[in-house]
Structure 1
Amino acid sequence: MPAIPGATPDALDAALADPIEVARRLDVDPERGLTAADAATRLAAHGPNELRSAGGTPFWRRVVAQVADPLILLLIAAIAVSLIAWLVEGAEGWPIDAIVIFGIIVLNAVLGLVQESRAERAVAALAVMTRARSTVLRDGTLRTVPSAELVPGDLLVLAEGDQVGADARVVRATSLQVAEAALTGESTTVEKHPETLTERVPLGDRHDMVFKGTAVSRGTGRAIVTATGMSTEMGAIATLLDETVAEPTPLQVEVGHLGRTLGRIVIGIAIVVMLTVALVQGVRTPSEWVTVLLLGVSLAVAAVPEGLPAILSLVLALGVQRMARRNAVVKTLSSVETLGSASVICTDKTGTLTTNQMTIQRIVTASGTVDLGGVGYAPVGRATVKGRPLEDGPLRTEVGIVLGAGSLANDAQLAEREGEWRIEGDPTEAAFLVAARKLEGTTVEAARYDRVGEVPFSSERKMMSTAHRHERGDLVVLSKGAPDVLLEHCTRIRIGPDIVPLDAVRRARALADAEALSEEAFRTIGVAYRPAPELGGGDGGPDVTGFDESAEHDLVYAGVVGIIDPPRPEVRPAIAEARAAGIRVVMITGDHPATAARIARDLGIIDEDGIALPGARLDGMDDRQLRDAVRTVSVFARVAPQHKLRIVDALQAEGLIVAMTGDGVNDAPALKSADIGIAMGITGTEVTKEAANMVLADDDFATIVHAVREGRGIFDDIRKFLRYLLYSNMGEVLTVFLGVVFAGALGFTAASEGGLVLPLVATQILWINLVTDSGPALAMGVDPEIDDVMARPPRGLHDRAIDLGMWIGIGVTGLVIAVITLLTMDMFLPGGIVPGGTDTFDVARTAGFTTLVFAGLFTAFNARSATSSAFRGLFTNRWLWGAVALAVVLQVAVVSLPPLQVAFGTAPLDGVHWLVCAGMASVVLWVEELRKLGILLATRRRADGAGARFRAA
């Protein structure tokens, strides 16, 4: 196979190779670049410098996904059984049951398709994000070409403001700094220079490489393209994202489990009831067999809450709307509840917990330390000393000189546009401009100077200097840089209005001040100056001649500033609330370990002696060791995208439900792998937003906590209507089953006119489903919060929506409903357990039918909480009251109107019947109230006992 022109051999790591060797391997002249013909050949061989787009999911697959849910499959089976029974009966009329259930399935599928119509376009968004133009040297001439046409071997020419079009090896750099936050999570710009690395280092520390999708924030340079398209670091993330499998949400898992469980129960119920009827009463004619089969089908349909999928979708959709009003935009319905189940929130630091805006927070001079308030680029904040406002005096003078000089020796720009403060240039330099505006009078004085000369910053010198002419004509040299380097050029120090010699004691103290700031994870920059009359005096010329490094001597040291990307002010209380709710917060960042640990301590993620685990340590860990680490470590620093993905996977392997937040491209794979990915809407890249399940429109971490409460409330509502539906449905099933078994003891057999004796007919069972499984159940799905959902820990991964306690409650409540229904029928019949009745079996069955409906409506109020009284917040849900009132009106109609009496086998009831039905139905409410009272008293006794033991201890 012929070699591909310009292909970098696998054995060559460009970051560890000399630029000359890279140029030789790629067959390019480092002074003239490629020829146009060579570039065209390589483009044909390598293909465009673009990222591969993932194909969309076909529409038919989306439809199949909507109906592949176990609950939906159960309903499809119910349709089949209903159609069989309809055919056995002679196929007369329309198969109403099958049509209604089919309509529910279609409604659910439409809701799901509408809400989840956005296909995953994360990799495609990566390609869109990186469309740009690049300047290259070809045939010795500068040319601007589409970045998609870059090829290995191209010589990139970089300048401030350029987007880097491909991964490239730096061959020349002058004050070159690149913003790589979107790729690495590093908040500060990265200085680039051509010196070859001696060992493999993390992505954020490869100073001799520039990467596709990053941006030049300062300086100039040249670099040889070493990788394009999917071979770049951005392409590696695209591949990782493409290969990452999105796990089903806990709610999807739970609904699937519920569907399978109900399926087994339904089949068992249908078989047991039909066999019981056949054995107890005997089935002799084909007509009776049809009746038994229809009864079995009706009970199966009754046992399945067929409205559950549609109600679930509607409840989740309403939750989506409420969360959107709180600036949390959810893209998939099932993700709404997932966040409420989260036991861990993994969060990026830069731009998520912090502002991604470098800020000067501390200034240290010879006279003391000043704290500067305010966060970000808005020049709002005040200077304080030990909590008190900074007053005029020596310290105020020194701080003014530090910030004024730092603002003048500066290439950044700060401007307010449409009410928002924005910067251009290096964020660290911009921090001086912001800080100077906060100190009254500083910017006024700085405006009187004009820059007339510059010695730029370089990685070798670690400092920069500028020459400025005052409006009076005086010249001054201003310098800033690494404090230890700057102090080597200083012989004096400013103390208030005086300039005194910088002796060994004062020099040691200045170095100690800078070191103390570094230990607190501040980035430190020292500032110095000196009058420079020798540079040109007051001739008024625009420039000075001969201004170079030789002017950087005999400087007056002014002080040092501490710069940091500060935490968002709203984050700390949000993290405290999350922890109180049993949710652990884990920081995963590409930033320096010391900086990450400092921010984590400030926010309360770790305690004072907590540390950050660097990504280099993760490389040496296998999966078991990583799982051990994630149990205790809450801060991971200097991590690569694959590290984030491994950390999320390790937490999930521990049985935790993981939410992952982020804003950069490097966060996208982990967001996709997490149980729920949360992207920042303002600072987040398009890639992150597409890979996430939820987008924060305000980039506010506190919004996540609000969303957690909303998600927990939604799951509570799901449990409420599940509890309600299954309480009622179990009551129907047990009523029929026990009514058939004890028909003789209850007086049913004696009162009937021969044939099968059934406490309810199939149409009445289906009517109960229609009345109770629709309006009241939907109203339960939007019920206000009764219990404090944030006062309990998150539910575990294997915790069931219907746990053992709820199943017991379903059985007990169903039994109570069945007993009071059957006793009501017995009360109106002659003989039986309760003698004295004189009504016909049709009237008694209608009374039992009505009691069963009313009992279901009383149960709706019981089901609002498993522990709190039904009378707590009794009138807060007007939708529930409306649904109950409508159900009562419909029940009166089906009992009283002749056409409906014929259709549903009912008989008229008088006032006494109605009162007895309502009174008997209310028993289910009082039984449940007694149970909840018992729970309350037991809880108080346990609390009192614990308090007594504590006092005794």
Structure 2
Amino acid sequence: MEPNTHASSFSRVHAAGESGQLDNKSGGADIGTDTDIEYSDDPSLVAPQTVAEALHTDLDNGLTAEEAGRRLTKHGPNELVGAPAMPKWKKFLAQFNDPLVYLLLGATAISLVAWLIERANNPAEAEKLPFDCIVIVLILIVNAVLGYMQEAKAEQAVAALSRMAAAHATVLRDGQSVSIPTADVVPGDVVLLSEGDTVAADGRLFAAAALHVAEASLTGESVPVTKNVTTLPEAKALGDRANMVFNGTSVTQGTGRFVVTATGMNTQVGKIADMLSAQKEEPTPLQKEIAFVSKVLGLAVCAIAVLVLALLAIVYGFNSTQDVIESLLLAVSLAVAAVPEGLAAILTVVLALGVQRMARHHAIVKKLSSVETLGSASVICSDKTGTLTRNEMTVQRVVTPSGEVALTGTGYEPIGEMTAVDGTELQVDDPRRTEAGRTLLIGATANDGQLSDDQTDGGHAIIGDPTEVSLIVAMRKTAVRGLYGRTDPAARYSRVAEIPFTSDRKRMTVIAADHDDDDHLVALAKGAPDVLLGYCDRIEVAGQVRPLTDTDRAGILAAVERLSDQAYRTLGAAYRPLGVTRIGQIPGLEQAIGPNAEAGDAPAADVADHPEIIEREMIWSGMVGIIDPPRTEVRDAVTEAHAAGIRTVMITGDHPLTAARIAKDLGIIEESGKAMTGDDLDRLAPAEFDSAVRSVSVYARVAPEHKMRIVDALQTQGQIVAMTGDGVNDAPAVKSADIGVAMGITGTEVTKESAKMILTDDNFATIVAAVREGRSIFDNIRKFLRYLLSSNVGEVFTVFGGVMLAGFLGIAEPGADSVTVPLLATQLLWINLLTDAAPAMAMGVDPSTENVMNRGPRKLTDRVIDGRMWGDVIVVGLLMATVTLIGMDLYLPGGLLTDDSAMGVAHADQIVMARTMGFTILVFAQLFNALAARSATQSAFRGMFANRWLWGAIALSVALQLLVIYVPVLNTAFGTTPLDPHQWLECLGLAALVLAGSEIYKIVLRVAGRRA
């Protein structure tokens, strides 16, 4: 290509070697060191072809895949560099940054002082190791390792989700447009832009049609900026560089192409990346509540500990330093027993695992916190095309002024033929053939879709809007019949300029050179038939153009109604010969554009700004009926959503009759139901609008502002709204909704960025499945919260009860004034380590024990840990403490169930045996509680073996407890002694009473619930 030096301020020495990034003395990116090209100013001051020359790229074909790979290796990913990752050793040490750990370290210091004092006073004990200190430190290290591993696993899960939800850009590689991750965009890439895209990098525009870009994120300009390709005469501020686009901004309208001049940290946004670094997110309601519960438990236990210390001082007195140390250790034990140390880490991992599971089922939740809201959804507002339907658009009907024809074949395979509606063959000279072929040709030319000839997975790959691609497929079917004497009818036209489709215009027009008419220009338009018809004043019938009459209009609109009632989506086609060969010669356009009318490619953008000059006095050609059949699985999903108390609302831009027909087929509305249009909504007073939103479930022909109003009204009514969307016009409503859901296949990048969840299969049934999964995840969180809290409260009651009732139960040393600690701090730490981590984690992936979709949505204001759960916690905690203290009482003299003569062992051994029994009973009581806590009301025996992970966790806990009981060095460390078989039977029998008592409690709750 010869460089275009028009308006260039380049000074080119020579271009040897690989390209770098453009030097921009006014704020651009520095050029790579491997180029000899010198620049005197930024890319906005030079012609785009000169920029392409400097970057060694081809504006028509882009880079080769090989060259792009080399540049990616050289320049690195097109990503902003965030704050440096915390080193692993810091992450590990952060596990110790917790008030509870400080408390345990205090206990270690107290225990070490006690050991030193005892060693000094008793030389015989000099060789005895400080096992309490060693065990506490080891358990702290093990807890830190587990917490580190859990957090690392959660981070990996979130990182995997981020990769799955990564933004994509459409670029030219080897002359083909391909979609690649934004991170793979390199300097010199040619990027294609369309409405709804997020700009992937900084670059110089070389093609733009009605292109408007929202740059508020970079410049603060609230109104989208109109872009063009005109070279600037002088350097301007960032917001005034109309021929440049910048990374992170979004296309609100139109199309364009640009050559990438800067990526990653070299982009404008990269230069302020430090200011854009992610701030710490606010904790979710669930996280806040758990932090609140932990705080309340900690304060309560501290208060109990102070009370216990005071009572000990009053009742027994502190006769020695050892008494003080033992009492302090007892107070620390209470604190250790109360708070589940791994709660926060377990919560994060359970959420991350659940979100990963949802991703495997085509729903990517971008933030873990969104799971909370997802399970509470009460209304799902869904688009129709591709979400409720298959999005395999197929043209089956073509209605022209001479009649109606049918096209056979389905999907995107260009195999089929044109027949009469009754299936009979059309004659070669039938005017319906010619008119239908012209209508399809117009639709395929006024079109941004692409149908690849390379087949993937047994079918043709498509790029762009499926509706547009369906017109290309239909055109290719007619090409088999040799219409217009061409193998490829699209070769008849070459596009010159474009007036893009927007959600407000509801039509698209291109200006093309007609090679069958000496390259004279013609305007070709497609769009909503009722809209496009308003711009037509003529109609072509059997080769003759005549004025369009009121009768013609009524007939066309009646056909629209008829096709729409049969669930067809309709698109009209019209054209207008312009009678000139250059854009600047179009009557009225030269005056509107001015002196630029004859200047190079400038008119392409200018034409898009003056649709009123082109889109008038058009000739109606015909319309197509496109079918997009409902997804077979959606009807069941809608039924399931209704059973779960979730209302389904369809909001579409399609025809009201088409929308109503699909909604009836899917069970969204009754057979007599109708759709309400955007015009209907505009006529309603505020009170009437609010009333309509409460009852209407199908909206058609709505504008973006209508979607926002509907979502806002539903939220005002207290609903938790999930809103699906794909186009840029959907982004505001998607962002405003409680759960914004973007389409992963057809969705624009802007919508994906606005959403909290992305569907990789664009399927409504996936939303319902995600809600079901969200509810299950939340139920599992409640399960392990019930389990952890009741288990830890059981430990507190055991220690507190053992101290307060020591004399009554015999848990005291005869003849001694000081109290005997019921369970050692090391034993309580071991119980928490053993029973809190693995079983709680396993409960986080528990299969549903109840049908979560047979109840109404949870309100976000509902407490996660409500009064009923606190009741469960207290009841089970008391049961645990009772059976544990009974087990200890059996092996101590002077208790309720024993007397001095019944015990034939030394007192020191009695204390060790009693503690070992209580220690073991409490461990097994908590493991039985893991089975009981899987449901608040259902029997633990229903689906008892459904969770193999839970049984694995129980088996692991049992094995580790056996080690503590039978390994001599662990006996010394934890103050335990081996148990006989009959003692094991006593431990298991007493511990099983927790499960039995829980079952009785659930029966009472079920009976009370039925009576209520």
Query: What TM-score do you get using the length of structure 1 for normalisation?
Result: 0.67
Q: Aligned partners of 1:804 and 1:383: how far apart in 2?
A: 69
1:288 paired residue among 320, 323, 326: 323
- 1:738 to partner: Cα distance: 1.5
1:821 paired residue among 868, 872, 884: 884
- 1:762 to partner: Cα distance: 2.3
Aligned equivalent of 2:828 = 765
Q: Does 1:261 align with 2:300?
A: no
Partner SS, residue 833 of structure 1:
coil
Aligned equivalent of 2:481 = 444
Partner SS, residue 300 of structure 1:
helix
Q: Does 1:513 align with 2:539?
A: no
Alpha carbons 1:249, 1:338 under 8 Å: kept: no
Q: Does 1:391 align with 2:436?
A: no
1:234 paired residue among 226, 250, 257: 250
- 1:816 to partner: Cα distance: 1.4
Q: Does 1:562 align with 2:625?
A: yes
- 1:870 to partner: Cα distance: 0.7
Aligned equivalent of 1:97 = 136
1:922 paired residue among 975, 988, 992: 992
Q: Does 1:417 align with 2:454?
A: yes
1:697 paired residue among 760, 764, 767: 760
- 1:63 to partner: Cα distance: 11
- 1:815 to partner: Cα distance: 0.7
Q: Does 1:85 align with 2:110?
A: yes
Alignment of 1:899-918 (within 5 A): 899-918=969-988
- How many residue pairs get matched? 807
- 1:332 to partner: Cα distance: 4.8
1:798 paired residue among 825, 849, 861: 861
2:873 paired residue among 806, 810, 833: 810
**For 1:340-384, what per-residue CA distance to the aligned partner results, in whole angstroms no more than 9, with x for missing partners?**
344455666776566777653654468987887988645589999
Alignment of 1:362-381 (within 5 A): 362-364=397-399, 377-378=412-413
Amino acid at match of 1:916: E
Change (3 A) 1:458 1:730: closer
Alignment of 1:551-700 (within 5 A): 560-563=623-626, 571=634, 573-584=636-647, 601=663, 608-611=673-676, 637-639=702-704, 661-663=724-726, 678-684=741-747, 694-700=757-763
**For 1:29-69, what per-residue CA distance to the aligned partner results, in whole angstroms no more than 9, with x for missing partners?**
xxx9866599xxx986686689x997624535999999999
Partner SS, residue 868 of structure 1:
coil
- 1:807 to partner: Cα distance: 0.8
Q: Aligned partners of 1:202 and 1:596: how far apart in 2?
A: 35
Alpha carbons 1:493, 1:501 under 8 Å: kept: no
Alpha carbons 1:62, 1:113 under 8 Å: kept: no
Q: Aligned partners of 1:564 and 1:180: how far apart in 2?
A: 32
Q: Aligned partners of 1:570 and 1:426: how far apart in 2?
A: 23
Partner SS, residue 846 of structure 2:
coil
- 1:227 to partner: Cα distance: 7.3
Q: Aligned partners of 1:353 and 1:735: how far apart in 2?
A: 57
- 1:287 to partner: Cα distance: 0.9
1:525 paired residue among 561, 565, 572: 572
Alpha carbons 2:405, 2:418 under 8 Å: kept: yes
Structure 2, gaps ≥5 residues long: 12-22, 29-41, 45-77, 117-129, 174-185, 216-221, 230-239, 254-268, 500-506, 517-521, 577-617
Structure 1, gaps ≥5 residues long: 1-31, 134-145, 151-155, 184-200, 213-223, 470-476, 530-554, 943-953
2:918 paired residue among 848, 868, 880: 848
- 1:923 to partner: Cα distance: 1.5
Amino acid at match of 2:423: E
Partner SS, residue 793 of structure 1:
coil
Aligned equivalent of 2:351 = 316
Partner SS, residue 360 of structure 1:
strand
Alpha carbons 2:827, 2:974 under 8 Å: kept: yes
Aligned-CA RMSD value:
6.3
Amino acid at match of 2:957: A
Alignment of 1:115-134 (within 5 A): 115-116=154-155, 129=169
2:473 paired residue among 418, 434, 441: 434
Aligned equivalent of 1:712 = 775
**For 1:759-807, what per-residue CA distance to the aligned partner results, in whole angstroms no more than 9, with x for missing partners?**
3232322232233223333332232221112222333223233221111
- 1:871 to partner: Cα distance: 0.6
- 1:285 to partner: Cα distance: 1.8
1:108 paired residue among 147, 161, 164: 147
Query: What TM-score do you get using the length of structure 2 for normalisation?
Result: 0.63
Q: Aligned partners of 2:984 and 2:944: how far apart in 1?
A: 24
Partner SS, residue 418 of structure 1:
strand
Alpha carbons 2:436, 2:622 under 8 Å: kept: no
Partner SS, residue 875 of structure 1:
coil
Change (3 A) 1:114 1:371: farther
Aligned equivalent of 2:82 = 56
**Most deviating of 671-680 and 898-907:** 671-680
Amino acid at match of 1:797: L
Q: Aligned partners of 1:889 and 1:164: how far apart in 2?
A: 55
Alpha carbons 1:655, 1:797 under 8 Å: kept: no
Aligned equivalent of 2:16 = none
Aligned equivalent of 2:313 = 278
Q: Aligned partners of 1:787 and 1:831: how far apart in 2?
A: 47
Alpha carbons 1:851, 1:921 under 8 Å: kept: yes
**For 1:529-566, what per-residue CA distance to the aligned partner results, in whole angstroms no more than 9, with x for missing partners?**
9xxxxxxxxxxxxxxxxxxxxxxxxx999964235888
Change (3 A) 1:297 1:408: same
Alpha carbons 1:182, 1:666 under 8 Å: kept: no
Alpha carbons 1:593, 1:614 under 8 Å: kept: no
**Most deviating of 86-95 and 840-849:** 86-95
Amino acid at match of 2:704: V
Partner SS, residue 511 of structure 1:
helix
Partner SS, residue 807 of structure 2:
coil
Q: Aligned partners of 1:226 and 1:811: how far apart in 2?
A: 68
Alpha carbons 2:318, 2:324 under 8 Å: kept: yes
Alpha carbons 2:401, 2:622 under 8 Å: kept: yes
Amino acid at match of 1:82: A
Q: Aligned partners of 1:876 and 1:164: how far apart in 2?
A: 47
Among the aligned pairs, what percent are the same residue?
43
Aligned equivalent of 2:50 = none
Aligned equivalent of 1:406 = 439
Q: Aligned partners of 1:374 and 1:179: how far apart in 2?
A: 36
Amino acid at match of 2:794: G
Q: Aligned partners of 1:600 and 1:798: how far apart in 2?
A: 35
Alpha carbons 2:395, 2:624 under 8 Å: kept: yes
- 1:652 to partner: Cα distance: 7.1
Q: Aligned partners of 1:881 and 1:274: how far apart in 2?
A: 40
Alignment of 1:739-754 (within 5 A): 739-749=802-812
**Most deviating of 693-702 and 916-925:** 693-702
Amino acid at match of 2:395: I
Partner SS, residue 761 of structure 2:
coil
Q: Aligned partners of 1:702 and 1:247: how far apart in 2?
A: 31
- 1:605 to partner: Cα distance: 6.3
Alpha carbons 2:394, 2:410 under 8 Å: kept: yes
- 1:512 to partner: Cα distance: 3.7
Aligned equivalent of 1:301 = 336
**For 1:597-620, what per-residue CA distance to the aligned partner results, in whole angstroms no more than 9, with x for missing partners?**
7699576667844536689989x9
Alpha carbons 2:724, 2:742 under 8 Å: kept: yes
Alpha carbons 1:131, 1:147 under 8 Å: kept: no
**For 1:103-132, what per-residue CA distance to the aligned partner results, in whole angstroms no more than 9, with x for missing partners?**
53464356445644789999xx99995999
Alignment of 1:838-877 (within 5 A): 838-839=902-903, 841-842=910-911, 843-877=913-947
**For 1:169-196, what per-residue CA distance to the aligned partner results, in whole angstroms no more than 9, with x for missing partners?**
99xx9xx97799999xxxxxxxxxxxxx
Partner SS, residue 101 of structure 1:
helix
